[in-house]
A and B are shown apart, each in its own frame.
Chain A
Amino acid sequence: MRHIISILLENEAGALSRVAGLFSARAYNIESLTVAPTEDASMSRMTIVTRGSQDVVEQITKQLNKLVEVVKVVDLSEAEHIERELMLIKVRAGAKEREEMKRVADIFRGRVIDVSDHTYTIELTGDGAKLDAFIGAIDAGAIIETVRTGASGIGRGNRVLRV
Chain B
Amino acid sequence: MDRVKGQLMTGAEIVVRCLQEEKVEYVFGYPGGSVLYIYDELFKQDEVKHVLVRHEQGAAHAADGYSRASNKVGVCLVTSGPGVTNAVTGIATAYMDSIPMVIISGQVPTHAIGLDAFQEVDTVGVTRPCVKHNFLVKDIKELASTIKKAFYLATTGRPGPVLVDIPKDITAASHEFLYPESVQIRSYSPVAKGHSGQIKKAVQLISEAKRPMIYTGGGVILSNASAQLTELTRTLGYPITNTLMGLGAYPATDKQFLGMPGMHGTYEANMAMQNCDVLLAVGARFDDRVIGNPKDFAKNPRKIIHIDIDPSSISKRVKVDVPIVGDVREVLDEMLKLLSARSNGVELEQWWKQIGQWRQKDCLHYDRDSALIKPQYVVEKLWEVTQGDAFVTSDVGQHQMWAAQFYRFDQPRRWINSGGLGTMGFGLPSAMGVQYANPGATVACVTGEASIQMCLQELSTCKQYRMPIKIVNLNNRYLGMVRQWQQIDYGSRYSESYMDALPDFVKVAEAYGHVGMRIDQPGDVEGALREAFAMKDRLVFLDFITDQTENVWPMVKAGKGLTEMLLGSEDL
Contacts and interface: CB of A to CB of B under 8 A. Distances in A.
B124 interface: yes
Interface string B69-86: 000000000000000000
B316 A68 contact: no
A116 to B, nearest CB: 38
B187 A59 contact: no
Interface in A42-73: 55, 58-59, 62-63, 65-66, 68-71
Which of B133, B185, B187, B315 counts the most A-chain CB atoms under 10 A from its CB?
B187
A17 B125 CA distance: 9
B152 to A, nearest CB: 10
Given A55-B315, A65-B311, A21 B129 contact: yes
A18 interface: yes
B520 interface: no
B525 to A, nearest CB: 45
B312 interface: yes
Contacts of B153: 68
Given A9-B187, A59-B312, A63-B312, A14 B133 contact: no
Interface size class of chain A, counting residues whose CB lies under 8 Å from the partner chain = 20 to 34
Nearest to A10: B187
Interface in A6-20: 9-10, 13-14, 17-18
Given A9-B187, A14-B124, A71-B187, A25 B311 contact: no
A18 B311 CA distance: 19
B132 interface: yes
A163 interface: yes
Which of A59, A62, A69 counts the most B-chain CB atoms under 10 A from its CB?
A62
B310 interface: yes
Contacts of B136: 13-14
B118 interface: no
A68 B133 contact: yes
Contacts of B133: 68
Contact of B187 (A13, A17, A58, A70): A70
B129 A25 contact: yes
Contacts of B187: 9-10, 68-71
A99 B563 CA distance: 73
B154 to A, nearest CB: 11
B132 A68 contact: yes
Contacts of A10: 187
Contacts of B124: 14
B186 interface: yes
Given A17-B125, A18-B128, A68 B185 contact: yes
A65 B311 CA distance: 9
Nearest to A8: B187
A68 B312 contact: no
A62 B312 contact: yes
Nearest to B138: A13
Given A66-B310, A68-B188, A59 B316 contact: yes
Contacts of A68: 132-133, 153, 185, 187-188
A5 to B, nearest CB: 15
Nearest to A13: B136
Nearest to B132: A68
A13 B128 CA distance: 13
A35 to B, nearest CB: 15
Given A10-B187, A71-B186, A62 B311 contact: yes
Given A68-B153, A68-B188, 14 more contacts: A9-B187, A14-B124, A14-B136, A17-B125, A18-B128, A55-B315, A62-B311, A62-B312, A63-B312, A66-B310, A68-B185, A68-B187, A70-B187, A71-B186
- Identify the 9 closest CB pairs spanning chains A and B, nearest first: A62-B312, A71-B187, A68-B133, A62-B311, A68-B188, A25-B129, A63-B312, A66-B312, A69-B187
28 contacts: A10-B187, A13-B136, A14-B124, A14-B128, A14-B136, A17-B125, A17-B128, A21-B129, A25-B129, A55-B315, A58-B315, A59-B312, A59-B316, A62-B311, A62-B312, A65-B311, A65-B312, A66-B310, A66-B311, A68-B132, A68-B133, A68-B153, A68-B188, A69-B187, A70-B187, A71-B186, A71-B187, A163-B186
Interface of B: 124-125, 128-129, 132-133, 136, 153, 185-188, 310-312, 315-316
Interface of A: 9-10, 13-14, 17-18, 21, 25, 55, 58-59, 62-63, 65-66, 68-71, 163
